[in-house]
Amino acid sequence: MADLRINLAGIESPNPFWLASAPPTNSGYQVQRAFEAGWGGAVWKTLGEPIINTTARFAAVSFNGKKVAGFNNIELITDRPLEVNLKEIYETKKRFPNHAIIASLMVEPQREKWHEIVIRVEDVGVDGLELNFGCPHGMAERGMGAASGQQPDLVEAQTMWAKEAARTPVIVKLTPNITDITVTARAAVQGGADAISMINTINSLAGVDIDTWNTIPHVAGKGAHGGYCGPAVKPIALNMVAECARNPLINVPISGIGGISTWKDAVEFMLMGAGGVQVCTAAMHHGFSIVEDMIDGLNNYLDDKGIASVQDLIGKSVERYSDWGNLDLNYRIVARINQDVCINCNKCHIACEDTSHQCIDMLTDPDGNRYLQVREDDCVGCNLCSIVCPEDGAIDMVELPHEQPPMTWNERQTVLAGFKGN
């Protein structure tokens, strides 16, 4: 049994799985049910001046019959009075003292407002604070959420104001709706953030109803952009986490968020630098009990790998993530088709023929059996065939011995510059 406990910037929890600030953490009832199910922590749905929500708030994207490949929402922060939330946080913390409760906060970008809410929330015994600089819809129109999170100076200033009053660790939650997230991440660090979390949701329109021509979702025939999350956003989130993790100026822990649905996703985020993860869509899709497999699968993975503590995973893949200019141009892999596994669907052939490098031949042997073969000399090792192949093990991408010593683009440019210099 591996040690699943984490300590993220001083916030301790029994496992790395937190519920993100979102509908699942709207009330004490829900958070307590989540803790009973096994979640290690919960970021309470964002507190602030209570708002009014619309009906028709969520929409999802199905892909090839699979529901909720991506999820979109236009729900805002809490619509319940602050006192009610604070009372429930107090009660929940009392019942679950070893679980992490982090309060997500959003107020107007004014120093006193931040001081006031931080003090009130910390009074009920939260383990940490998460500043919501990411909510992309609704609140941003009022100058909060992503609107303030897109301006590095406002990120820095607000972080500083919160830190002035805070006694517990402060996590700054960043918006992905920005060209370079490391800029706002650095601003948060400059403002004194103890940790950063990412990503908040991505600006999105889930769809258009092709019969009514209404947006999906629509509110009385009108729509507005929402925030996108769920499995579809994972690669975007993972990249942003990795970019921050490998940036030497961003030297605070990262709480990873974005499309995490299984223990495997969590392992990937932690390898790429996350100190823990937050989950929302998967729980909204399947209920709180999915954490059982997350914990179990993570534990089995760590045991299988002989890793004593989940914290030993953190950042182990970060050094392997770099710039394109540092990749070895002389590394060669080619596709090789295993005839005994191949089921002859010819998907690799047509993918290569139509859209890649025309190097998979459809052939017939002397007995009249059809087979597929890669012309390795023409194969550029793009991986496409192995991606479209439906049969596990039918196509291997095989590494060939280096014909020339490794050389990256950057090294090549340096060498070329040397020649020019002569």
| Chain contacts with other proteins (rule: CB under 8 A) | 64-65, 343-347, 349-350, 362, 390-391
Which of helix, strand or coil describes residue 376?
A: coil
Residues 316-340: b if buried by 16+ CB within 10 A, e if exposed:
ebbeebeeeeeeeeeebbbbbbeee
Cβ of residue 391: shortest distance to other proteins, in angstroms?
6
One DSSP character per residue, 111-154 reads HHHHHHHHHHHHTTT-SEEEEE----SSGGGGT-THHHHT-HHH
| Amino acid identity for residue 170 in this structure | V
**Residues in CB range of 338: below 8 A, 6 or more apart:** 393, 394, 395, 396
Cβ of residue 394: shortest distance to other proteins, in angstroms?
9
Cβ of residue 2: shortest distance to other proteins, in angstroms?
34
H-state helical runs in 25-172: 28-37, 82-95, 111-122, 146-149, 152-165
Cβ of residue 71: shortest distance to other proteins, in angstroms?
20
In angstroms, what CA-CA distances link 270 with 264, 313, 314, 333, 411?
10, 6, 5, 28, 31
Q: Which is nearer to other proteins, 112 or 391 (CB)?
A: 391
**Residues in CB range of 411: below 8 A, 6 or more apart:** none
Cβ of residue 276: shortest distance to other proteins, in angstroms?
35
Q: Which is nearer to other proteins, 153 or 209 (CB)?
A: 209
Q: Which is nearer to other proteins, 344 or 410 (CB)?
A: 344
Q: Which is nearer to other proteins, 331 or 371 (CB)?
A: 371
Q: Which is nearer to other proteins, 62 or 110 (CB)?
A: 62
Cβ(322)–Cβ(272) below 8 Å: no
Cβ(244)–Cβ(321) below 8 Å: no
Cβ of residue 42: shortest distance to other proteins, in angstroms?
34
Q: Which is nearer to other proteins, 51 or 345 (CB)?
A: 345
- Active-site residue flag, 135: yes
Cβ of residue 210: shortest distance to other proteins, in angstroms?
10
Query: For residue 270, what is the enclosing H or E element?
Result: helix 263-271
In angstroms, what CA-CA distances link 141 with 99, 110, 205, 237, 246?
34, 16, 17, 24, 33
Q: Which is nearer to other proteins, 69 or 224 (CB)?
A: 69
| Amino acid identity for residue 271 in this structure | L
Q: Which of 135, 359, 379, 389 is catalytic?
A: 135
Beta-strand relationship, 395-400 and 66-73 = unpaired
Q: Smallest Cα–Cα separation from 351: which of 320, 384, 383?
A: 384
Q: How far apart are CA 162 and CA 131, in angstroms?
A: 8
Q: How far apart are CA 288 and CA 286, in angstroms?
A: 7
| Amino acid identity for residue 184 in this structure | T
Catalytic residues: 135
